[in-house]
Structure 1
Amino acid sequence: MRISGYIHSDLLPARRLYGALLCLLIVCLSLSFTVASQAAAEEKAGKRSVKTIVVDDYYPYTFVNEQGQPDGYSVDLIRAVVRSLGMEIDIRAGSWESARRALSQGEIDLLPMMAYSEERARSFEFSVPHTVAHDALFFQKGQRRPEGLQDLKDKRVLVMKYDAAYDYLRSQAIIPEANLVTAENLPEALRSLALGKGDVALMPKLVGLLHMKRLDLNNLDASPVGIEDYERPFSIAVRKGNAGLLSHLSEGLSVVRATGEYDRIYKKWFGFAEARTDTLNRVLKYILVVMTVFLGLTIAAFVWTLSLKKQVRLRTKELEQEVAERRKTEEALRRSEEKYRNLFDSTVDGVYQVDALGRFTHINRAGARIFGHANPEEMIGNEVVQYWRDPAAREPYIAELKDRKSVSAYHLQGKKKDGEPIELESSSRVIEDSSGNYLGLNGILRDVTERMRYEAEREKLVLELKEALAEVRTLSGMLPICASCKKIRDDKGYWSQIEDYITKHSGAFFSHGICPDCFDKQIRDLEKMRKRE
């Protein structure tokens, strides 16, 4: 084979070429050993050990290989992270439930891969995500393919117990709890689906497809498009309150990214390497260039190692500032949520939200009490129509609400959970997406049963007073009266005693007595009569 076209003999004789290559190799190895020795000394000085558990059947993220050892993308990544920090790690394999419980109880220090959610953030702290997975819906071939989570309401859905999909479906009340079928791991969920023990399985698409192929489940298929409703941002997780360890791990993750180690690990498990057919001529052509570059990189690595501590300290300070800012933001968010929750729970009116299917998704304590419930959680998922006295009356209400987008002081006839009728006043507003599709409604309820009872009693009293006033007759104008006997002539020309006339025309009654003047007059008359006798 002719190679002189790449290494010219008149410029660099073979002996000098090999001598130069040997010298370069010795220098590179010497510097490499120097760098390695310094790194080893620093690692020994600051080394400590942490413990973790990985899921034993979550390929390619975590699994147990043929040698019985934990393996996978997350295993390689966490080893690289702790190695960059001069630490050691003890990795065991187990179920997801046992791993999550062990971290919650402080039996282990970290989990290399946990999907972030608001619910989990109450118990754990998370690094920035190191990868993001998207779920898909798996189903039996020949069955109607589900297009999204909105098609699951009447389906039996298989999920891994305490998995991100399990937590999401429960927190969003997408399906009834009774329709949620749990499995210990993802392979078990797929086997159950293949046997018809469920209608749909929800899991990461890549993991599910690999398990389908390994288990030879030919009667299953997966939705071509991932679920857009949610995603799985996988992060390193520690127990709540262990912010110091999380800060170190975040620092290590940044180092692994900066050195290119992360890209190598990611490509190993998720990339597709292209085959290369470099010939001997190409190797010989570039060997000097490669060795020169290697020497330069080795020297750069030596210098970089000397300055790494300073860079790490600076980066650590930046990360601590970021963590402090994040904590401030989280604390402000927590206070805002607490303020909203206090306002939501302390208002005397019922505040509620209903989804497009007419089911309660939120309601405060006052709203629950209106319908006779002691706890708001008792109403979550219940259909609103069961609290209407006449279920058919809800249709025109919803139609008017969709047409007007909002209503105020709308009178509703409802009932409590025990059937007791109640009168309600509702102010509501529709919820729509960006395309104008109806998603539900939210609003405020007020129990006006007592108020309407008082108003009815008041109207009854006013009516009675009006009727009484209508019966009262008044006397007016000129009345003809006898100057001698004091009788009054009515409109028909009849003469009546004054007492009878007034009683007939006014409703007044008389109680007969005698005034002092008449009494004196009668006494004088009696005395005159006695004298005459």
Structure 2
Amino acid sequence: MKRKMKLGRRFTLHISFFTKFFTQIILCISITLLLISLSPSVLADPLPVYQYWADENYPPFEFKDPTGEAAGFSVDIVRAIGEETGFEINVTPHPWTEVKDALTDHTIDLSGTMAYDLNRTDRFVFSVPITTLNWYLYVPDNSSINSLNQLIGKRIILAKGDIWEEKLKGENFPAEITIVSDYRDQLKQLSTGGFDAAIINKPVASYLMEDEGIKNIKPSGQAISRLNLCIAAHISDPALINQINEGILIITRNGKYDEISKKWFAPAEREIESKMYRQIFFYVLLPILAIIGVIILWNRSLQKIVTTRTADLRMELSARESVENALRKSKQLYKSLFMEVPVALYRLDAEGNFLDFNPALQHLLACHDREMLLQMKLWDFIEDSTAGWHPDDSLPDSDYSHELRIQTYAGQIIWALNSYKPVKNNDGIIRYYNGSLKNITIRKRVEEDLLRKNEELQTAYEEILSSEEELRSNYKELAVSQQALEVSENRYSL
């Protein structure tokens, strides 16, 4: 029994020893694996920290948020670049003039929102652009200024340290230029009416005008300049800018740049769209709906009028159809009369060309080819030896008649009575002639016979008168002779 107890204690001691031994081995292995798994960055040297001053009044790129911290598009861009390329930033908001002076003195390392200009390259080195901005003239709503040339002699207000302060002063621009502390003050003073124009880029102006409730100024004309917005360092730090450029390339490829852009610019775009939609609703859709409502009410009131008017129109159409049918029948009757009447009828244009005629005229002129006759003039058939017929615009609007000696198409000579009337337009110009031709050849022959007989009778009468005179003369001579005879007889009787 004692032997068994000793063996049990020995076995327990062995188990306890091996448990402690294996526990220590496992602990050593765990520590080793933990050290191996540690990131090299933990074991590496601490990351460099760069001093980055942000413009406290340049939204949405850089500004001081309600907590007093720096925020904005450029701040997030520089932070993202640091995460990708291995540096940290200590960013604080300051007035822009202090930022620019500190970077010039190399008191700080970075500025995140500096417009590239060749005149600045002697003090600063610039990254590739992180965005591009358009600068506009902002003027009062009632101003007609829309170009830089129109600002000569005018009052211009600019923000201190802005690129356009440097440009206009460097060019000695001939205008009254006032410099204020920042862009917010610039826009506020322009809105009070004391200045003719301000020069500022549109995104910053839009944010500040919305924040200040400024609504009486506007961007005018086309953009006067388009400048690249870059991250800037002191002229002595090109290596830092190379690192910045590498980071810009990385965040552009991995999508972080787009995420930051959407964060800062999409809300503004949505607000602009929302404002635009509200304006469309109130100024376009609402009036249209009101007009539609008025139209519906007016339409209902018109329905009764339309119903009544429709009935009247149907009656009017029925009456008009009756009139048109009557006119159609009248026209057919007129055409029938025109074509079948035995009198030769015609219509001529102002030059005497045939426009229309009936078969009786063709028969009179002995020309049975209608198409050929339409190519001819009436006076082609009138003999030159007779009085010609050449009417003109001076003829009054009345009926005329002429006797014409006509040679028919077959060569026969006939006489015709030409009766016609000119039809004129409102200006007194003859449009056409309506007329008729009546064959008077037999009458003319009878008249010629009568004239000849009359001439014969006149000759006979004159001969009778001459014989009567001769008889009277002979009678007188006979009477004288008789008296002489009687005298002689008386003498002899005595």
Structure possessing the higher radius of gyration over alpha carbons: 2
TM class, shorter-length: 0.3 to 0.5
TM-score (norm 1): 0.42
Higher helix share: 2
